């Protein structure tokens, strides 16, 4: 499946290696991922004396895919939108990479026009496109993104390859880059402009570009904002359970099938780039709902969202209702954790 070219025409060899690694995951099963897994969890935050994860506390292993978010980097702040210091994030990325983990980064950028957060939906996209009144502001923001990404180096000074997922869930209404607030044409232009500025202007060559809508019903819906095969490296999809398990399984099955059909047509790897059930109140959610629906579908990974507190978490902590089932889930040979890379 491997493409001879990537979205960034000057992508580094390690980015091609990451693409191949991702493609090979689906031959073995799928990788388990978790957002901010080593940054904080239920009742703890990372400090320099400890390296842990709620995932590790329950199953004795770390995720294979590590999610991070660089929201607030655009302002040159010391911490991201979830209070994680960027220097800490950098160190956690370096450690995860060294141990064989895959790093994926999202960017909940503030609204450049209103100066509100990502969820403040004042019209902005058309103003940050070239010729727009906020283009220079956006360009300065991207320079800060570039500066951070270019700091991510391993112990040999090699840049760490990152699966970068900007402007996700663009077919929803909740972000300023969502479809009610910009047209598909404007979104595609924003994607191309972002790629161009990062790769050409700022010489960032350690990114794989991941396109990830929110849930869809058809391939047409999935492709509505798709900027083109030549500027996308990987396909994603975000989908959360909000209602019954039965309804979620039906929706998940449909969405994974749509994702698979598109991916097979464009010959790119694909993943569930965000998924979860907040507070995991179904005791057997992992084995009978999630895995039962997505096993053998060809996805590369599933990324569960973050563990903020006992009121908002997506992976069990010790003694949580679904912890024993999560342990059973983690031991399935086709569900790949970090330890499976070291066998």
Relative to beta strand 40-41, strand 44-45 is antiparallel
- Pair of tokens at residue 17: 């290696």
pLDDT band for position 193 (cuts 50, 70, 90): very high
pLDDT at 4: 73
Residue-wise pLDDT tens digits, 178-188: 999 999 999 99
Share of the chain above pLDDT 90, in %: 97
pLDDT band for position 3 (cuts 50, 70, 90): low
- The CA distance from 94 to 74, in Å, is 21
User: Quick one: which of 109, 112, 42, 36 has its CA closest to 67?
Assistant: 36
pLDDT at 341: 85
**Mean pLDDT across 218-240:** 98
**Mean pLDDT across 262-289:** 98
Give 133's strand partners.
none
Rounded to two decimals, the pTM is 0.98
User: Quick one: which of 18, 21, 51 has its CA closest to 37?
Assistant: 51
pLDDT at 229: 98
pLDDT band for position 1 (cuts 50, 70, 90): low
Residue 343 has pLDDT above 60, yes or no: no
- The CA distance from 177 to 212, in Å, is 13
pLDDT at 62: 98
- Pair of tokens at residue 159: 């840049």
Q: What is the mean pLDDT of the chain?
A: 97
- The CA distance from 262 to 270, in Å, is 9
**Mean pLDDT across 267-281:** 98
pLDDT at 342: 65
Residue 63 has pLDDT above 80, yes or no: yes
- Pair of tokens at residue 11: 């992508």
**Mean pLDDT across 97-126:** 98
- Pair of tokens at residue 49: 């004396």
**Mean pLDDT across 90-108:** 98
Residue-wise pLDDT tens digits, 134-147: 999 999 999 999 99
pLDDT at 49: 84
pLDDT at 142: 98
- The CA distance from 208 to 231, in Å, is 10
pLDDT band for position 50 (cuts 50, 70, 90): confident
């Amino acid at each position: 499946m491997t493409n001879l070219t990537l979205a960034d025409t000057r992508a580094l060899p390690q980015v091609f290696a990451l693409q191949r690694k991702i493609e090979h995951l689906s031959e073995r099963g799928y990788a388990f991922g978790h957002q901010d897994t080593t940054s904080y969890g239920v009742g703890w935050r990372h400090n320099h004396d400890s390296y842990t994860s709620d995932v590790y506390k329950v199953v004795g292993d770390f995720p294979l895919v590590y999610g991070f978010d660089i929201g607030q980097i655009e302002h040159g702040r010391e911490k991201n939108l979830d209070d994680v210091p960027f220097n800490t994030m950098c160190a956690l990325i370096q450690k995860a990479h060294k141990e064989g983990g895959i790093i994926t980064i999202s960017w909940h950028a503030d609204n450049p026009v209103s100066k509100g957060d990502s969820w403040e939906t004042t019209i902005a996209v058309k103003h940050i496109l070239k010729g727009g009144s906020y283009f220079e502001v956006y360009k300065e923001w991207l320079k800060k993104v570039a500066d951070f990404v270019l700091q991510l180096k391993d112990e040999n000074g090699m840049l760490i390859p990152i699966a970068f997922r900007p402007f996700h869930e663009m077919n929803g209404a909740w972000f300023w880059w969502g479809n009610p607030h910009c047209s598909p044409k404007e979104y595609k232009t924003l994607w191309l402009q972002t790629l161009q500025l990062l790769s050409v202007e700022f010489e960032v060559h350690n990114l794989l570009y991941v396109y990830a809508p929110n849930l869809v019903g058809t391939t047409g819906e999935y492709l509505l904002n798709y900027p083109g095969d030549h500027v996308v490296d990987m396909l994603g999809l975000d989908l959360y359970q909000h209602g019954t398990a039965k309804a979620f399984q039906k929706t998940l099955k449909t969405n994974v099938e749509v994702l698979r059909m598109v991916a097979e047509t464009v010959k790119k790897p694909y993943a569930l780039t965000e998924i979860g059930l907040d507070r995991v109140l179904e005791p057997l959610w992992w084995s009978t709902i999630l895995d039962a629906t997505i096993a053998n579908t060809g996805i590369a990974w599933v990324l569960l969202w973050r563990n903020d507190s006992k009121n908002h978490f997506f992976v069990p902590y010790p003694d949580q209702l679904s912890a024993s089932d999560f342990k059973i889930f983690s031991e399935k040979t086709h569900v790949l954790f970090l330890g499976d890379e070291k066998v």
